[in-house]
C-alpha cells in the first residue's frame, strides 16, 4: 500500500493517463528515455504538429501537457517551473513561446492542450502504429474531416417527420384528456 505524495500540488491533466508508463527502446536507461522524450516535447512546441510512433507520442503527450499546465499554474516567475521548462525545452527561444504564446492560448481552455490521433499504417512498410500529436489551436488545417450534415438524408427526414407526428398525436391526447377532466370537474 502506497501513500500519495503531498509535498507538491499538481493540477489534474485533462487527458487519459495510462496506469503505467510505456517502455521505449532505450539502451541508456531512464535518463536516456527522458532525453528521447525531451526531443519530441521540444519538437512539439516548435512545430505544433508531429507524426510519431504511437508509443512515443502517447508518452510525449503527458509530458507536454504537464509542462503547459505547470506553466499556466505558476507563470514565468516561479523558479522550479522555469527550471523544469529549461530542462524539457532544448531550444531556449521556445521557453519564451511556452510562457508568452502557449500560456495565454491555453489559459482558459477547459479541455486538454494537445490532441492525439491514430494515423493509418502504410502496410507493409510500417508495422508500428503511427499517430499524429498536435497542440490545440495550431495554425494548420484540421486533421479530421469536417462532419457532413446528414439531416437531409432520407432516413433522417423520415425519422424527423415520424417524431413530429408522434408529438402531434401526444399533444392531441393530452388536450383531449384535459378537456375530459374539465367536463368532469364541472
Partner 1 sequence: MLLRSLKLHIIQCGFAPVVLQVSRTCSNMPLSDTHQSPDNAVSGKQVKSERKLVVPSNSRFIYPEFLPDPKMEWRNSLREKLERLDMIQRRKHIDIPEFYVGSILAVTSSNQHAPNKATRFVGICIQRLGCGLRANITLRNVIKHVGTEIKYQLYDPTIQKIEVLRLEKRLDDELLYLRDAPNEYSTFDENMEAEYLPEGTPVPVNTTLVKLKPRPWRARWERKNMKGLADLELEERFYKRAEELATPWEKYDLMKQYRRTIPEEEQKEIFAEVCSELHEVEVMRKKLKRKKVFVKPTRSS
Partner 2 sequence: MKCFTSCFYKKYTYTLSRRYVSTSKNVEPLSEIVAYQNNLFDNEQKKQKEAVGRIEKMIIKYHGVPENVTLSMNKGISTPYDCAKHISEMLVKRTGLALVDNTHLWDMHRPLESDCEITFMHAQHLPDPYHFNRAYWRSCSLILGAVISKAFKNDIQPTLHSFPSPNVKSGSFVYDVELSNLPEWTPTENELRILSANMVKLAQTSYRFDRLAVSEELALDIFQDNKFKKEQVPNIAQQSIDKKVILYRIGDHIDISKGPMIGNTDLLGRCTITAVHRLDTKYGHLYRFQGVSLPKGIMLNHFAYSLLEQRAKKLNAARLPDQVNNDMFVPRFSSEDSIA
By residue count, the chain amounts to 186
27 touching partner 1, by CB under 8 A: no
Distance of CA 37 to the CA centre of its chain: 19
146 touching partner 2, by CB under 8 A: no
Q: Which of 45, 88, 106, 113 binds partner 1 (CB under 8 A)?
A: 88
154 touching partner 2, by CB under 8 A: yes
Cell numbers standing for residue 61: 503527450
Work out the number of other CB atoms within 10 angstroms of the CB of residue 109.
13
Integer distance in angstroms from the first to the last C-alpha of the chain?
72
Asked if 40 and 52 count as a contact pair (C-beta separation under 8 A), the reply is yes
1 touching partner 1, by CB under 8 A: yes
Residue span binding partner 2 (CB under 8 A) among the ranges 65-73, 87-95, 114-122, 144-152: 144-152
Q: Give the 3-state secondary structure of residue 151.
A: coil
To partner 2, the closest distance from the beta carbon of 146 in angstroms equals 11
Residue 157 partner contact from partner 2, partner 1, none using kind-dependent CB cut-offs of 5 to 8 Å: partner 2
Distance of CA 162 to the CA centre of its chain: 37
181 touching partner 1, by CB under 8 A: no
Site string for partner 2, 6-45 (x = CB under 8 A): ----------------------------------------
Amino acid at each position: 500500500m502506497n501513500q500519495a505524495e503531498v509535498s507538491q500540488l499538481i493540477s489534474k491533466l485533462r487527458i487519459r493517463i495510462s496506469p503505467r508508463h510505456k517502455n521505449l527502446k532505450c539502451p541508456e536507461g531512464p535518463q536516456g528515455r527522458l532525453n528521447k522524450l525531451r526531443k519530441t516535447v521540444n519538437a512539439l512546441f516548435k512545430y505544433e504538429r508531429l507524426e510519431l510512433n504511437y508509443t512515443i507520442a502517447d508518452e510525449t503527450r503527458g509530458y507536454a501537457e504537464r509542462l503547459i499546465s505547470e506553466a499556466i499554474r505558476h507563470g514565468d516567475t516561479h523558479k522550479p517551473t522555469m527550471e523544469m521548462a529549461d530542462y524539457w525545452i532544448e531550444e531556449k527561444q521556445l521557453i519564451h513561446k511556452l510562457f508568452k504564446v502557449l500560456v495565454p492560448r491555453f489559459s482558459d481552455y477547459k479541455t486538454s492542450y494537445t490532441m492525439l490521433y491514430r494515423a493509418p499504417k502504410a502496410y507493409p512498410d510500417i508495422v508500428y502504429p503511427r499517430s499524429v500529436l498536435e497542440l490545440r489551436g495550431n495554425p494548420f488545417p484540421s486533421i479530421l474531416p469536417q462532419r457532413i450534415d446528414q439531416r437531409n438524408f432520407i432516413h433522417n427526414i423520415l425519422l424527423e417527420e415520424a417524431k413530429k407526428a408522434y408529438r402531434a398525436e401526444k399533444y392531441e391526447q393530452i388536450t383531449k384528456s384535459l378537456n375530459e377532466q374539465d367536463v368532469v370537474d364541472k
